[in-house]
Chains A and B, each alone.
Chain A
Amino acid sequence: MNKSVYDSPKQVEDINRHILTILVDNEPGVLARVVGMFSGRGYNIDSLNVAEVNNKNLSRITIVTHGTKEVIYQIQSQLMRIVPVHSVSNLDKEDSSVEAEVALVNMFINEKNKKDAFQICDLYRARKIENENNTIIFEIAGTSQRIDTFIKDISKITDIEIVRSGPVAISSTQKNEEEE
């Protein structure tokens, strides 16, 4: 089960990845409250994303975390105790959701590996981004899993430097919460 000073009754429960999207009032300190709840209570954040939504007064925080069903329920209800939090949805639960993440990849390409590298980029529909310094930077979007395999494949060919955004997700049946 969950947190306690005592050992919990032995129960083997599956630990799964969950994407929580949290709609909050866009006010100072709100991110600290959310993140502080995770660190203060010993939960993990695998990735974190924050941006304003259409309505300027609201932001959406997307957090990827993992845990047993009970832990995720506990995280959700602890989040709901935070005053500026409007709603918390667990998108994995609804399984009718779409997720995507963006990665920027700086590649150290030479004449030898160029062809193979570009082929893989093509395969994954990674897009080359022109820039002033003429370095070779690709942008790839998709599920985290897809980006993982891309990294695995491309790393076999060339050294890379990579920056990932962490996923955001949307329920495909979502009502427009922002329009309240």
Chain B
Amino acid sequence: MEMTDNVTGAEIVLKSLTEQGVEVVFGYPGGAVLPIYDSLFKQNSIRHILVRQEAGAIHAAEGYARSSGKIGVVLVTSGPGATNVVTGLTDSMMDSIPIVCITGQVPQHLIGSDAFQECDTTGITRPCTKHNYLVKDVNTLSSVFHEAFSIAANGRPGPVLIDIPKDVQFAKGSYQSSKETKIDSHRLFEPKIKANDQNIEEATKLIANAKKPIFYIGGGCINSGPKASKLVTKFVEETKAPATMTLMGLGVIGARNKYSLGMLGMHGMYEANMAMHECDVMVNIGARFDDRVTGRLDAFAPNSKKIHIDIDPSNINKTIKIDVPIIGDIESVMNQIFSSWKNNNYKSQKEDLIKWWNKIEEWKKVDCLNYNQGERSIKPQHAIKRLYELTKDKKTFITTEVGQHQMWAAQYYKFEKPNRWLTSGGLGTMGYGFPAAIGAQIANPDSLVIDIAGDASILMNIQEMSTAVQHRLPVKIFILNNEYMGMVRQWQELLHGGRYSESYTDSLPDFVKLAESFKAKGLRAKNVKELDDVILQMISSKETVIADIWVDKEENCFPMIQSGSAHNEMLLNKYQKQDETSAEKGKVLV
């Protein structure tokens, strides 16, 4: 694109977005962004999805980004518009989702005067963005945009915010194409794409000599792109070692792959956590030793050598001491690892691996996900299992809210591919799932997109029903309705003597009527006989659907490593109790 002179700031915004290949913007108008909305009105290449609350816009952008691998774009006004996206910015920062968020700001001469709808947006969002800008000169606007898009997607992805005072939106200036924009390399968090060869050699040697190896796979593999997941799977198969995935990493290795042990961590699989505890070589690929995964640190995989592959050096040695750090993009690191493995003619220790797998098979016999469905009321686990069985042959995207339903979804829904599972992992944001499903549906109009929700979480962004219906998005909301903030109730049962302080969700709406009032479809299953039929009706409908699934109210989510415990101290059912010292220490943890 040529240099273009004498265009308004608002037009530059649209030109920049167009040049960056943006197809969709999620937003909500207001005084401080009216010029941009005016420019939006005059063009056809970018589609605007009007949400009903700005939180919905940014979670939708997250869902869009995660399900498509593209950058999610958000446009909101100053003041309350900006503060309403703070949760979503923090969420995408924690889960490394590429977002560009445009906020309007009061005109420059009013900045600092407590003007109407003024807030210090860059100040508020500094710690929850990868970077942010307050643009003071219209002539820098296009280069700021080009840089922002690079920063959002580059290295470890994350949110970038651009705050544009209204006078800058009206001012005329020149447009610079991205080609003409020079970005200093230090500003791009230039990660080592290629890792240090010596560390690669050390790593493959450790893996080849391991007696009890395990792969611990995280969301970084998904961020690195679909090729990374394929390479990781191939390497796991080559070594024949067991692999476990974090909440964020589900789908990197197909759930039905025989080397997959499923999810690890607080509500992870018994066999996965036990194997982590007993391994002698741990290969962390794109995970960050989150406290939900490690459990008590002094008892975390105590006899293991640890290899950690990550693009962000700050993740190395943050909480866990690493023996072989490998800093680089997973796709290229995996290629390096493969060549090293081949060049050295490495083979895994066959005999040892047989013993290792035998041990794992023993752990599997515990059958940690078993439950007793019975004939009448629906077990939440069973609801997810049936949902999986009835949707597994379609291209299905699952989003979730936060709570027990989220963990049951992670445990009982089997993900075969990356980018199909969208859940708020790091921040644990209730209200994430529904707008994220809207974003995923926009990016994948012909796919089945289901938000697995809890009755409390869904009310946090229920206003987006209106968005879904307006844009004819056949998103499905599958509520595991237990009339409780189930996960809170579970912790109160385990840690606070069963005093269910404020965790009962009283005065719930009639979800069927609620759906109907938005001109969407409402369905309900009250017992197990009705379940399959409701699921089938839901997935065959072309409308937005709320399926209200009445589940057992007091079911708890197991297995569970309670805070303060270690991987080998899992509780498998409600009859087991945490030992007292761990419980005392764990109580203060979240």
Question: Within residues 107 to 148 of chain B, which ones have a CB less than 8 A from any CB in chain A?
Answer: 122-123, 126-127, 130-131, 134
Task: Give B425 Cβ to nearest chain A Cβ, in Å.
Answer: 16
Q: A29, B186: Cβ atoms under 8 Å?
A: no
Which residue of B127, B184, B298 contacts A8 across the interface (Cβ within 8 Å)? Answer: B298
Question: Within residues 68 to 102 of chain A, which ones have a CB less than 8 A from any CB in chain B?
Answer: 70, 73-74, 77-78, 80-87
Q: A9, B297: Cβ atoms under 8 Å?
A: yes
Is B313's CB within 8 Å of the partner chain A? yes
Q: B585, A84: Cβ atoms under 8 Å?
A: no
Chain A residues near B316 (CB-CB < 8 A):
77
Q: A81, B122: Cβ atoms under 8 Å?
A: no
Question: Within residues 509 to 564 of chain B, which ones have a CB less than 8 A from any CB in chain A?
Answer: 563-564
Partner-contacting stretch, out of B246-254, B317-325, B568-576: B317-325
A29 to B184, CA, bound (A): 18
Q: A83 with B123: in contact, given A7-B298, A7-B585, A9-B298 (CB under 8 Å)?
A: no
Q: A83 with B189: in contact, given A2-B317, A2-B318, A6-B291 (CB under 8 Å)?
A: yes
Q: B317, A32: Cβ atoms under 8 Å?
A: no
Is B211's CB within 8 Å of the partner chain A? no
Q: B319, A29: Cβ atoms under 8 Å?
A: no
Chain A residues near B291 (CB-CB < 8 A):
4-6
Q: A1, B126: Cβ atoms under 8 Å?
A: no
The chain B residue sitting closest to A40, CB to CB, is B127
Task: Give B344 Cβ to nearest chain A Cβ, in Å.
Answer: 30
Chain B residues near A6 (CB-CB < 8 A):
291, 294-298, 319, 564, 589
Q: B297, A81: Cβ atoms under 8 Å?
A: no
Is A114's CB within 8 Å of the partner chain B? no
The chain A residue sitting closest to B148, CB to CB, is A83
Task: Give A25 Cβ to nearest chain B Cβ, in Å.
Answer: 8
Q: How many A-B residue pairs have CB under 8 A?
A: 78
A78 to B312, CA, bound (A): 9
Q: A73, B298: Cβ atoms under 8 Å?
A: no
A84 to B313, CA, bound (A): 17
Chain B residues near A77 (CB-CB < 8 A):
312-314, 316
Q: B314, A1: Cβ atoms under 8 Å?
A: no
Is A42's CB within 8 Å of the partner chain B? no
Is B365's CB within 8 Å of the partner chain A? no
Task: Give B326 Cβ to nearest chain A Cβ, in Å.
Answer: 15
Is A164's CB within 8 Å of the partner chain B? no
Q: A1 with B131: in contact, given A7-B297, A84-B187 (CB under 8 Å)?
A: no
Most chain B beta carbons < 10 A, residue from A1, A4, A33: A4
A37 to B294, CA, bound (A): 25
Task: Give A37 Cβ to nearest chain B Cβ, in Å.
Answer: 8
Q: B134, A28: Cβ atoms under 8 Å?
A: yes
Q: A70, B126: Cβ atoms under 8 Å?
A: no
Q: B186, A85: Cβ atoms under 8 Å?
A: yes
Is B151's CB within 8 Å of the partner chain A? yes
Is A175's CB within 8 Å of the partner chain B? no
Which residue of A3, A9, A36, A81 contacts B318 across the interface (Cβ within 8 Å)? Answer: A3
Q: A1, B187: Cβ atoms under 8 Å?
A: no
Chain B residues near A81 (CB-CB < 8 A):
130, 189, 312, 314
Chain A residues near B321 (CB-CB < 8 A):
1, 70
Task: Give A80 Cβ to nearest chain B Cβ, in Å.
Answer: 7
Is A10's CB within 8 Å of the partner chain B? yes
Chain A residues near B563 (CB-CB < 8 A):
5
Chain B residues near A32 (CB-CB < 8 A):
123, 126
Q: A78, B314: Cβ atoms under 8 Å?
A: yes
Which residue of A5, A10, A40 contacts B298 across the interface (Cβ within 8 Å)? Answer: A10
A10 to B318, CA, bound (A): 16
Which residue of B122, B294, B317 contacts A74 across the interface (Cβ within 8 Å)? Answer: B317
Task: Give B205 Cβ to nearest chain A Cβ, in Å.
Answer: 25
Q: A2 with B319: in contact, given A7-B585, A81-B314 (CB under 8 Å)?
A: yes
Question: Within residues 1 to 24 of chain A, which ones have a CB less than 8 A from any CB in chain B?
Answer: 1-10
Which residue of A1, A82, A84, A86 contacts B319 across the interface (Cβ within 8 Å)? Answer: A1
Is B3's CB within 8 Å of the partner chain A? no
A37 to B314, CA, bound (A): 13
Q: A73, B297: Cβ atoms under 8 Å?
A: no
Chain B residues near A40 (CB-CB < 8 A):
127
Q: A80, B127: Cβ atoms under 8 Å?
A: no
Chain A residues near B1 (CB-CB < 8 A):
none
A36 to B320, CA, bound (A): 24
Chain A residues near B590 (CB-CB < 8 A):
5
Task: Give A75 Cβ to nearest chain B Cβ, in Å.
Answer: 9
Chain A residues near B318 (CB-CB < 8 A):
2-3, 74
Q: A83, B130: Cβ atoms under 8 Å?
A: yes
A42 to B126, CA, bound (A): 16
Task: Give A30 Cβ to nearest chain B Cβ, in Å.
Answer: 11
A36 to B298, CA, bound (A): 30
The chain A residue sitting closest to B132, CB to CB, is A29
Task: Give B340 Cβ to nearest chain A Cβ, in Å.
Answer: 25
Q: B589, A5: Cβ atoms under 8 Å?
A: yes
Chain A residues near B312 (CB-CB < 8 A):
77, 81
Question: Within residues 115 to 168 of chain A, which ones have a CB less than 8 A from any CB in chain B?
Answer: none
Chain A residues near B585 (CB-CB < 8 A):
7
The chain B residue sitting closest to A69, CB to CB, is B317
Task: Give A11 Cβ to nearest chain B Cβ, in Å.
Answer: 9
A86 to B585, CA, bound (A): 41
A25 to B312, CA, bound (A): 21
The chain B residue sitting closest to A8, CB to CB, is B297
Which residue of B131, B295, B297, B564 contacts A83 across the interface (Cβ within 8 Å)? Answer: B131
Q: A83, B187: Cβ atoms under 8 Å?
A: yes
The chain A residue sitting closest to B590, CB to CB, is A5
The chain B residue sitting closest to A29, CB to CB, is B122
Task: Give B291 Cβ to nearest chain A Cβ, in Å.
Answer: 5
Most chain A beta carbons < 10 A, residue from B126, B186, B189: B186
The chain A residue sitting closest to B297, CB to CB, is A6
Chain B residues near A73 (CB-CB < 8 A):
317
Q: A36, B127: Cβ atoms under 8 Å?
A: yes
Chain B residues near A37 (CB-CB < 8 A):
127
Task: Give A36 Cβ to nearest chain B Cβ, in Å.
Answer: 6
Chain B residues near A29 (CB-CB < 8 A):
122, 126, 134
A71 to B122, CA, bound (A): 28
Chain A residues near B298 (CB-CB < 8 A):
6-10
Q: A4-B294, A5-B291, A8-B319 are in contact. List 4 more A-B contacts (CB 8 A).
A: A1-B297, A37-B127, A80-B314, A81-B312
The 6 closest A-B pairs by CB, nearest first: A77-B314, A83-B131, A4-B319, A6-B297, A9-B298, A77-B313
Q: What is A's interface to B at a CB cutoff of 8 Å? A: 1-10, 25, 28-29, 32-33, 36-37, 40, 70, 73-74, 77-78, 80-87
Complex A-B: 8 CB contacts under 8 Å: A5-B590, A6-B294, A6-B296, A25-B184, A40-B127, A70-B321, A74-B318, A81-B314
